[in-house]
């Protein structure tokens, strides 16, 4: 299949669309990003790599990092992780407090903010130097020692993170946060601030297309069963309350972030990263969603 030709054609089509999205404004630092940025990068298991547009520009991956923190927590404590988290779509906004009351402080899934905060708490309980150790884990996965947190973005999130502060303290009241909420939130804000390019993002996530084995680090990151389960949660919960729409239109496991990035995984085939900062009303990249819908339609390569 000529991925290059397909990507170039769709990229030009989508680039010229009237982008109805808006850059995330509730995190002040994200407002400074050029809204016209648009990049795509694909990495296949048989060694093909191709990028177009702003695929070399770094951006804040935001909630995409929640997949990486989940992977590490799953690797560290195994199935015990599901005693503190669900695996169901939430059907509500990513920063909603509504369901926590009825669910006794157990977040519906690891990708809404409440779930990622619990994952942060798990990592703090199991890592000697949580922020340093998590960053080392991501650097090892990517084989890139230069990857880093963005101090500006982490500070910006902390300044306006009132909903997340409320979430963390509310979960703490149910006993599902073990550490000091201030420490948990500091870790959470930092993990969301990690910056990558589309190229780096696509290459880092290739292990989820490869049954849990990282081509970069030459190590088994997850078991085949764990990799399957992470992909399943990405398919059903990776796009907040637009996850069903993404599964219906694109047909791939994936995860979005409010920085405008999306990573999508085709098990045993490829990973593809798209970045366009303007978001639709659900908080997902307007052009990114459209590009991936057209890509799986034209290539006829989805998991269905």
Q: Which helix (H) or strand (E) holds 261?
A: strand 261-266
Q: What mean pLDDT is predicted for residues 5-12?
A: 98
pTM: 0.95
DSSP string, 88-124: S---S-TT--HHHHHTTT--S-TTSHHHHHHHHHHHH
Query: What confidence score (pLDDT) does residue 228 get?
Result: 97
Beta bridge partners of 262: 256, 274
Q: What mean pLDDT is predicted for residues 80-84?
A: 97
Q: What mean pLDDT is predicted for residues 6-25?
A: 92
Q: What mean pLDDT is predicted for residues 75-98?
A: 89
- The residue among 162, 160, 164, 134 whose CA lies nearest residue 149 is 134
Length of the chain: 304
- Residue 143 CA from chain centroid, whole number: 19
Evaluate if residue 94 carries a pLDDT over 90: no
- Going by pLDDT thresholds of 50, 70 and 90, the confidence category of residue 76 is very high
Query: What confidence score (pLDDT) does residue 219 get?
Result: 86
Q: What mean pLDDT is predicted for residues 29-46?
A: 94
Evaluate if residue 95 carries a pLDDT over 80: no
Q: What residues have CB less than 8 Å from 87, skipping those under 6 apart? A: 109, 229, 232, 233, 236, 237
* Superfamily of chain region 3-299: DD-peptidase/beta-lactamase superfamily (3.40.710.10)
Evaluate if residue 93 carries a pLDDT over 80: no
User: How does pLDDT run across 201-214, given as a tens digit for each residue?
Assistant: 999 999 999 999 99
Q: Which helix (H) or strand (E) holds 266?
A: strand 261-266
- Taking each continuous run of H as one helix and of E as one strand, the counts in the chain are 12, 11
User: How does pLDDT run across 264-294, given as a tens digit for each residue?
Assistant: 999 999 999 999 999 999 999 999 999 999 9
How far, CA to CA in Å, does 110 sit from each of 19, 54, 84, 166, 243?
Answer: 30, 29, 10, 17, 14
Evaluate if residue 127 carries a pLDDT over 90: yes
Other CB atoms closer than 10 Å to residue 184's CB: what's the count?
27
Evaluate if residue 85 carries a pLDDT over 80: yes
Query: What confidence score (pLDDT) does residue 49 get?
Result: 97
- Going by pLDDT thresholds of 50, 70 and 90, the confidence category of residue 218 is confident
- The residue among 205, 48, 72 whose CA lies nearest residue 132 is 72
21-25, 31-35, 180-184, range with greatest mean pLDDT: 180-184
Evaluate if residue 199 carries a pLDDT over 90: yes
Letter string b/e over residues 9-35, b meaning 16 or more CB atoms within 10 A of that residue's CB: ebbeebbeeebebebbeebebbeebee
- The residue among 195, 280, 62, 61 whose CA lies nearest residue 293 is 280
Max Cα distance, the chain (Å): 54
- The residue among 206, 197, 179, 190 whose CA lies nearest residue 264 is 206
How far, CA to CA in Å, does 106 sit from each of 12, 88, 115, 238?
Answer: 44, 11, 8, 18
Q: At what angle do helices 130-142 and 113-126 cross, to 10 degrees?
A: 100
Percent of the chain with pLDDT over 70: 100
Domain boundaries along the sequence of the chain = 3-299
Q: What residues have CB less than 8 Å from 33, skipping those under 6 apart? A: 23, 59, 259, 260, 277
């Amino acid at each position: 299949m000529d991925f290059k030709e397909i990507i170039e054609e769709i990229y030009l089509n989508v680039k010229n669309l009237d982008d109805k999205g808006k850059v995330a404004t509730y995190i002040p630092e994200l407002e400074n990003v050029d809204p016209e940025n648009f990049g795509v990068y694909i990495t296949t298991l048989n060694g093909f790599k191709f990028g177009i547009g702003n695929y070399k520009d770094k951006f804040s991956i935001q909630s995409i990092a929640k997949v990486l923190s989940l992977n590490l927590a799953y690797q560290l404590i195994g199935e015990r992780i599901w005693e503190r988290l669900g695996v169901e779509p939430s059907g509500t906004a990513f920063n909603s407090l509504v369901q926590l009351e009825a669910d006794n402080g157990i977040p519906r899934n690891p990708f809404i903010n409440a779930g990622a905060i619990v994952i942060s708490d798990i990592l703090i309980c199991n890592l000697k130097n949580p922020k340093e150790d998590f960053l080392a884990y991501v650097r090892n996965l990517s084989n890139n020692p230069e990857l880093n947190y963005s101090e500006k973005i982490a500070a910006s999130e902390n300044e306006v993170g009132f909903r997340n502060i409320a979430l963390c303290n509310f979960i703490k009241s149910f006993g599902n946060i073990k550490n000091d909420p201030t420490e948990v939130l500091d870790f959470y804000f930092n993990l969301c601030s990690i910056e990558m390019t589309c190229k780096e993002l696509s290459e880092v996530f290739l292990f989820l297309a490869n049954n849990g084995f990282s081509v970069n680090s030459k190590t088994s990151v997850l078991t085949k069963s764990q990799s399957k389960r992470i992909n399943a949660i990405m398919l059903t919960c990776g796009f907040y309350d637009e996850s069903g729409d993404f599964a219906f239109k694109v047909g791939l496991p994936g995860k979005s972030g409010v920085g405008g990035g999306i990573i999508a995984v085709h098990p045993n085939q490829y990973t593809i990263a798209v970045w366009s900062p303007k978001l639709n009303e659900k908080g997902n990249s307007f052009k990114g969603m459209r590009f991936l819908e057209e890509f799986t339609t034209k290539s006829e390569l989805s998991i269905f």
